[in-house]
Amino acid sequence: MSAADGILVIIGAGVIAYLVLGGADFGGGVWDLFARGPRRDFQRQLIASTMGPVWEANHVWLVFVLIGLFSGFPAAFGQLSRMLAVPLAVALLGIVLRGSAFIFRQYGAAASTEAPVRGTAAWGRIFAIASTVTPVTLGLCAGAVATGQLTGPFPPVAGALAIAFCAYLAAVFLCQEARSRGLPALAEDFRRRGLAAAAVAGALAALAVPVLAIDAPDLTSRLIDRAAVLVLCSAAGGLGSIVALLRRRFVPARIAAVLAVGSVVAGWGVASYPIMVPPSLTVDQAAAPAQTLPVTLGVLIAGFAVTVPSLILLFRIFSRPALR
Amino acid sequence: MATQQPVKLAALEGLHHSGPGAPMSIGPIELPGVLSFMLHGRTSAVVTGLDVVAPNEAPPVFFTHYAFDTMVGIGLGLLALAAWSWWRWRPRRRATFFDSTWFLRAIAGSGPAAVVALIAGWIVTEVGRQPWIVHLHLRTADAVSDQHGLYWYFYATVAVYAILATSLVAVLRRLARTPR
């Protein structure tokens, strides 16, 4: 395996981590937007208190992906940033507004003695809307990277699939969060949402394959041929999480949901290789000069070696209600 | 910097002419030979000035030079503040450490000042490198995207950050009024 392949693996791991962990954060905003029923405010509080401690930490994965692409594959970075200038600008705006709005809402909220600050509710809406728009645009971008063009039917389907994944992951993750805080009614709320989102995400994933076949027939045939195992993993994970949710086994449901979503990205990567940007830009053509690649790889590995344990520690600390 | 990017150094010191006895300029004051001495240990040492490159190859001197002076000035000011703190912390005076309005003002001002110094240093390194974006490899003019509507991107960025900055100040003022 060459240094370029090593950087690709890091980029792929970064995309999966961003989709699974960052996606769950975005999904929390989606459920904030769609908070319904008698426990509406409690749903929002659970989302905010779950997300608060890890607030923007998961964007670190996006940084890894961008730096890996920028330093390792400048030709691909250049092509993609031209092709995707507008949706990436929208996604960036969404990320900035989401992070700021979350904090402004938190600190503007009502203290015990006084009314909430003017504009706090508006920041809440901005947080929820930005959380929804950003994954759609990032999914659109991913679809465009897969097919090599922003037009065509697949990118919008990929955008819809991305937001469905986010909502699905968030709902499944929040079930266990609610249970570990002794809030069974909220766990039921998110269990129902998780089941609904799983059905929608599964249907969209099933729809995405024939649509992809229209836009990128070669990629589709390689996906079915070379990445069949990963496609089956994804289906098994999705079905497994539905079964686990039905039986109220929330921790296995989490693992299955991560498997379902992560396998899609892994399958896409395996099927695309060695094409980086369709129709014809390959990994070798896009790679930076050979002398810089091992350095970039070393830096990325060192970065992962620091970031991964730090984030694991962060998640462990805040997943224990007793310590709060 | 004197060996790797001499023109950048000349810009941040505001040194227009190459030669021995290069002066150090601080605001309107020129200290002859000091720059030569600081760089090479001799006042007679030759220091490269901005005249070694054509005017359109040199970075904007005004911004680079005054940003550098701002950064160094604030840095020295913070050192002086640290010395002042040590002085006020001396034994038998510790009880009255905070009993000086001007000392408290200086402490309060030091936080923002440190950020200003940081930004000024950033201006020095980014503006001082012009017209290159990668020194001697890629010109800024050649690196900029030819994408249409790039200025909309700029306007939108300014607008978003203006809104965020205003909101941040509002939230901070509220927190200052009602500490929790």
Q: Give A 63-82 residues with CB within 8 A of chain B.
A: 82
Instruction: Tell me the β-bridge partners of B138.
Output: B134
In terms of DSSP bridges, do strands B46-47 and B19-20 run parallel, antiparallel, or are they unpaired?
antiparallel
Phi, psi of B44 (to 5 degrees): -90, -5
Q: Which residue of A has its CA nearest to B153?
A: A89
Q: What is the mean pLDDT of residues B11-19?
A: 79
**What's the pLDDT score for residue A118?**
66
Helix-strand-coil percent breakdown of chain A, rounded to 5? 80, 0, 15
Residue A156 phi/psi, 5-degree rounding, is -60, -35
Q: Name all contacts of A244-249 with Cβ < 8 Å and 24+ positions apart.
A: A245/A172, A245/A175, A245/A191, A245/A194, A245/A195, A245/A198, A246/A195, A248/A191
| Chain A touched by B166 (CB under 8 Å) | no
Q: Where does B75-163 show beta strands of DSSP type E? A: 132-134, 138-139
> Would the CA dihedral through A176, A180, A181, A182 be positive or negative?
positive
More confidently predicted of A113 and B8: B8
Supply B72's token pair. 């160094």
- Describe the crossing of helices B61-88 and B6-13 by its angle, rounded to 10 degrees: 70
**CA–CA dist A177, B77 (Å, integer):** 50
| Local structure of B12: helix, strand or coil | helix
Residues of B whose CB is below 8 A from A82: 145, 147
Record: contact A93-B160, CB cut-off 8 A:
yes
Interface of A with B in 164-223 (CB under 8 A): none
Q: Please report the pLDDT score of residue A324 as a whole number.
A: 42
Residue A35's H or E segment, with its range, is none
pLDDT for the residue numbered A322: 52
Reduce the DSSP state of residue A1 to 3 states and report it: coil
Q: Which two tokens stand for residue B168?
A: 């941040």
Tens of pLDDT along chain A (324 residues)?
788 889 999 999 999 999 988 888 899 889 988 888 888 888 888 888 888 777 778 888 999 999 999 999 999 998 898 889 889 999 999 999 998 888 888 776 655 555 666 667 788 888 889 999 999 999 999 999 988 888 889 999 999 999 999 999 999 999 988 888 888 888 989 999 999 999 999 999 999 988 888 888 888 888 888 888 998 999 999 999 999 999 989 999 999 999 999 999 999 988 888 888 888 888 888 888 888 899 999 999 999 999 999 888 888 877 765 544
Q: What is the mean pLDDT of chain A?
A: 87
Place of tokens 């601080």: B26
Answer whether A89 touches B (CB < 8 Å).
yes
Per DSSP, helices labelled H in A148-277 are: 154-180, 184-215, 217-225, 228-246, 250-272
Q: How many residues belong to chain A?
A: 324
- Supply the DSSP symbol for B17: S
Q: What is the spatial distance between Cα A83 and Cα A93, in angstroms, rounded to a whole number?
A: 18
Which ipTM score applies to this complex? 0.72
Q: Return left, alpha or beta for B132; rule: phi > 0 is left, psi -120 to 50 is alpha, else beta.
A: beta
Question: Cβ of B160 under 8 Å from any chain A Cβ?
Answer: yes
Domains assigned to chain A:
3-317 (1.20.1630)
| Residue B114 CA, distance from chain mean position | 10
Q: Which residues pair with B39 in a beta bridge?
A: none
CA-CA-CA-CA torsion sign (A8, A11, A13, A15): negative
Q: What is the pLDDT of residue A197?
A: 94
> CB distance B147–A85 less than 8 Å?
yes
Mean pLDDT of B67-80: 92
Neighbouring residues of A260: CB distance < 8 A, sequence distance ≥ 6 = A201, A233, A234, A235, A236, A237, A238, A240, A241
Q: Is B168 on the interface with A (CB under 8 A)?
A: yes
B167 vs A96: CB contact, 8 Å cut-off? no
- Under a CB-based contact definition with an 8 Å cutoff, are residues A171 and A190 in contact? yes
pLDDT at A323: 42
Asked whether the beta carbons of A306 and A13 are under 8 A apart, the reply is no
How high is the pLDDT of residue A298?
92
Return the sign of the alpha-carbon dihedral for residues B102, B105, B109, B110: positive
- Does A123 touch chain B if contact means CB atoms closer than 8 Å? yes
Decide: A219 and A272 in contact? Cβ < 8 Å: yes
**Would an 8 Å CB–CB cutoff place B178 in contact with chain A?**
yes
Token output for A276: 């980086």
Looking at CA atoms only, how far is residue B67 from chain A in angstroms? 28
What are the residues facing B29 on neighbouring strands?
Answer: B26
Inter-chain touch A96–B178, beta carbons under 8 Å: no
Quick: pLDDT tens for A74-125: 999 988 988 898 899 999 999 999 988 888 887 766 555 556 666 677 888 8
Q: Which two tokens stand for residue A199?
A: 């059905």
- Separation between Cα atoms, residue A301 and residue A313, nearest integer Å: 18
- The model carries a pTM of 0.81
* Interface-testing mutation among A84, A100, A117, A126, with chain B (most B C-beta atoms within 10 A): A100
Put simply, the chain B residues between 10 and 29 with a CB less than 8 A from any chain A CB are none
C-alpha span between B65 and B28 (Å, rounded): 12
Residues in CB range of A125: below 8 A, 6 or more apart: none
Report chain A's terminal Cα–Cα distance, integer Å.
45
- Round to whole Å and give the CA distance between B166 and B12: 33
Tell me how close the Cα of B127 comes to any Cα of chain A, in angstroms: 23
CA distance B174 to chain A (A): 8
Look up residue A300 and give its two tokens: 């990325």
- Chain B, 137-156: which have a CB under 8 Å from a chain A CB? 145, 147, 153, 156
Question: Which 8-state DSSP code applies to residue B59?
Answer: P
